[in-house]
């Protein structure tokens, strides 16, 4: 059996840097048409993280750094194109001479599910899914009662991020590495994991559905929601956990890939969600974080080394490497550790 089925991860995920021009601009050069685009102004802390996807449609904005409901902006992301996206002149995404990073994912195959007809789940859903890369985008309308929702994948997601579109509610995250399915951690806050059985109905996802309870943040009656679902795919994506060792020679985390994107969150106490990628700055000891839960500008390096088969913590901070601290992460590949033809990856 081959080590990985994805020899070219950039067919499904890619980090793209660009400089704003203050006008209409086409961002090009991806190897796919993106289905989920996450943009952050790197050198300014004034603007937040803008998230867009094909299921909700262009001009529909969510911000990971707050709990705001979805809103419409006419001059931010205005189109998804065959190899990128088109921007208007808003400073949030395209200020003249501003530096930006975009993280881009491909889902791919559209689906709709009438739960009463198919017998899959109890709440109707629609979205876009890629079994190959283990990623799906799912929309549904809450019922206020315990239910299950088709996620479009054939393996159980290890991470599910849900956001209410119609109301101000935190981004609720299911993660297989939390204490149990009764626990939740929130992308829009620094808060530790906490127990709330009504978020996921204390039930882990299956190979066909994820569960929601009665919590307003995942299933309020008549409110629209969006969910981003992620499964592990060997050599491409990994949702895992590690324990900090309190040393500058920190923990090594094996992922089976050279990562293009890493997001880390401490879950046993309050901490930021730190994001690293393979395009900003450029060499180990120069990997600067951005924070999914904050508008903070890029800054502070020497914290994470991106290696051929995982990553290594180079900080003793509470956010990344405190003694005995419990951390979760999600990582997407630049290269698998070894391709299906036996070609190995090298460190950054």
Count CB-CB contacts under 10 A for residue 16: 21
Q: Is 0.85 surpassed by the pTM of this model?
A: yes
* 339 has a pLDDT exceeding 60: no
Q: 3-class SS at 78?
A: strand
Higher pLDDT, 261 or 285: 261
* 338 has a pLDDT exceeding 90: no
pLDDT digit string, tens, across residues 112-135 = 999 999 999 999 999 999 999 999
19 DSSP β-pair partners: 99
Question: Token pair for residue 282?
Answer: 């450029």
- The number of C-alpha atoms within 13 Å of 205 and in the hemisphere containing its C-beta is 27
Asked if residues 305 and 348 have their Cβ atoms less than 8 Å apart, the reply is: yes
Average pLDDT rounded to a whole number, residues 315-339: 88
* 9 has a pLDDT exceeding 80: yes
335: confidence class by pLDDT, cuts 50, 70, 90: confident
Residue 209, classified by CB atoms within 10 Å of its CB into exposed (0-12), middle (13-18) or buried (19+), is: buried
Distances in Å between the Cα of 80 and the Cα atoms of 33, 51, 154, 172 are 7, 13, 26, 26
Q: 3-class SS at 32?
A: coil
Asked if residues 30 and 103 have their Cβ atoms less than 8 Å apart, the reply is: no
With a pLDDT cut of 70, the percent of the chain lying above it is 94
Residue 1, pLDDT score: 39
Domain ranges of the chain: 9-105, 109-230, 237-336
Asked if residues 261 and 15 have their Cβ atoms less than 8 Å apart, the reply is: yes
230 DSSP β-pair partners: 135, 159
Residue 249, classified by CB atoms within 10 Å of its CB into exposed (0-12), middle (13-18) or buried (19+), is: exposed
Our measurement of the distance from residue 24's CA atom to the centroid of its chain's CA atoms, rounded to an integer in Å, reads 27
Distance CA 53, CA 50 (A): 10
Higher pLDDT, 4 or 319: 319
**Residue 172 CB partners (closer than 8 Å, separation 6+):** 161, 162, 163, 184, 186, 199, 215, 217, 218
* 13 has a pLDDT exceeding 90: yes
Distance CA 29, CA 259 (A): 19
Strand ranges across the sheet with 304-306: 252-254, 310-313, 304-306
∠ Cα 297 95 39 (to 5°): 55
Residue 274, pLDDT score: 96
- The number of C-alpha atoms within 13 Å of 294 and in the hemisphere containing its C-beta is 16
Distance CA 112, CA 222 (A): 18
Count CB-CB contacts under 10 A for residue 128: 21
> Which residue's structure tokens are 């299906």?
340
Question: Token pair for residue 164?
Answer: 């209410």
- The number of C-alpha atoms within 13 Å of 25 and in the hemisphere containing its C-beta is 19
State phi, psi for 116 to the nearest 5 degrees: -70, -30
Average pLDDT rounded to a whole number, residues 218-246: 97
Closest CA to 92 of 53, 52, 56, 39: 39
Q: What is the mean pLDDT of the chain?
A: 94
Q: What is the 3-state secondary structure (H, E, C) of 90-143?
A: CHHHHCCCCEEEEEEECCCEEEEECHHHHCCCCECEEEEEECCCCEEEEEEECC
**What is the bridge-based pairing of β-strands 172-175 and 109-113?**
unpaired
Measured between its terminal Cα atoms, the distance across the chain in Å is 27
Distance CA 161, CA 64 (A): 11
245: confidence class by pLDDT, cuts 50, 70, 90: very high
């Amino acid at each position: 059996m081959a080590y990985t089925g994805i020899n070219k991860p950039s067919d499904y995920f890619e980090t793209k840097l660009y400089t704003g021009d203050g006008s209409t601009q086409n961002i090009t050069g991806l190897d796919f048409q993106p289905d989920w685009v996450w943009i952050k102004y790197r050198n300014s802390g004034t603007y937040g993280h803008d998230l867009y996807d094909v299921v909700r449609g262009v001009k529909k904005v969510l911000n990971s750094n707050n709990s705001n409901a979805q809103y419409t902006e006419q001059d931010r992301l205005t189109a998804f194109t065959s190899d990128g996206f088109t921007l208007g002149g808003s400073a949030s995404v395209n200020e003249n001479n501003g530096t930006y990073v975009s993280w881009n994912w491909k889902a791919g195959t559209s689906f709709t599910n009438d739960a009463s007809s198919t017998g899959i789940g109890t709440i109707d859903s629609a979205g876009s899914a890629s079994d190959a890369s283990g990623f799906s985008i799912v929309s549904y309308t809450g019922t206020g009662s315990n239910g299950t929702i088709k996620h479009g994948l054939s393996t159980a997601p290890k991470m599910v991020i849900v956001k209410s579109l119609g109301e101000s509610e935190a981004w609720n995250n299911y993660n297989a590495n939390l204490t149990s399915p009764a626990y939740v951690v929130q992308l829009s806050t620094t808060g530790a994991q906490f127990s709330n059985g009504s978020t996921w109905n204390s039930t882990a996802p299956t190979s066909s559905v994820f569960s929601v309870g009665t919590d307003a943040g995942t299933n309020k009656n008549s409110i629209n929601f969006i969910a981003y679902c992620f499964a592990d795919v060997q050599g491409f994506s990994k949702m895992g956990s590690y324990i900090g060792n309190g040393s500058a020679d920190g923990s090594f985390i094996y992922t089976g890939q050279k990562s293009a994107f890493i997001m880390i969150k401490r879950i046993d106490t309050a901490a930021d969600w730190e994001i690293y990628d393979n395009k900003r700055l450029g060499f180990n000891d120069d990997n600067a974080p951005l924070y999914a839960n904050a508008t903070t500008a890029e800054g502070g390096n020497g914290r994470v080394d991106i290696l051929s088969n995982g990553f290594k913590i180079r900080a003793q901070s509470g956010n990344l490497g405190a003694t005995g601290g419990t951390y979760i992460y999600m990582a997407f590949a630049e290269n698998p550790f070894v391709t299906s033809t036996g070609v190995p990856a090298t460190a950054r």
